[in-house]
């Protein structure tokens, strides 16, 4: 995930206005779809890329650009597990708790992460380096137990692999 960039963000009367480059990027995404709702995930990802998460006040701004209701954007934002609705650390660690991972060492891996990071699900380390979240499936059953750090998927991961993996994410 890129470092959040709050510079050049315009603040509107509702507390949030899209950065002009983000609005342009969202409008470009709209060109790829027949229905504006189909560009919703792309639009949310664009905002998240700049800020690190999607603030509540961004929802109506995204809806205005897409030409759809804020409820439609909110529905996608709350359903899609990789859209973060509150601030997260510089790196997000997603640990897969699917059946395959659960049967191949999830409990030990989760406990090792909790112990090493000193946080539990939904928490962020004091240095704002890592946020730990569960995910219902990473689609990496052949490498269970699996986890994802930012956009990188790892598996199978043993507890003793964690120090080396985490070290790569300053």
- Distance of alpha carbon 163 from alpha carbon 130, whole angstroms: 13
Give the CATH number of domain 91-167: 3.40.30.10
Residues with Cβ within 8 Å of 148's Cβ and at least 6 positions away in sequence, in order, are 93, 94, 96, 135, 138, 154
At 84-132, the pLDDT tens digits run: 999 999 999 999 999 999 999 999 999 999 999 999 999 999 999 999 9
Q: Which of 56, 81, 58, 87 is nearest to 138 (CA)?
A: 81
Q: Quote the pTM value.
A: 0.81
**Least confident among 15-19, 31-35, 40-44, 155-159:** 15-19
Task: Give residue limits of the domains in the chain.
Answer: 20-79, 91-167
């Amino acid at each position: 995930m890129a470092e959040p960039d709050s510079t050049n963000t315009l603040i509107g009367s509702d507390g949030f206005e899209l950065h002009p480059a983000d609005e342009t990027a969202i409008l470009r995404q709209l060109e790829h779809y027949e229905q504006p709702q189909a560009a919703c995930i792309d639009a949310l990802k664009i905002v998240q890329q700049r800020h690190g998460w999607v603030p509540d006040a961004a929802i109506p701004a995204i809806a205005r650009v897409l030409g759809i209701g804020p409820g439609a954007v909110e529905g996608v934002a709350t359903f899609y597990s990789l859209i973060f609705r509150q601030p997260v650390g510089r790196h997000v660690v997603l640990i897969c708790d699917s059946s395959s991972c659960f049967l191949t060492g999830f409990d030990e891996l989760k406990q090792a992460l909790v112990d090493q990071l000193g946080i539990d699900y939904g928490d962020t380390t004091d240095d704002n380096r890592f946020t730990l979240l569960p995910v219902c499936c990473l689609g990496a059953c052949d490498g269970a137990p699996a986890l994802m750090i930012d956009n990188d998927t790892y598996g199978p991961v043993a507890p003793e692999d964690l120090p080396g993996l985490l070290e790569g994410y300053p």
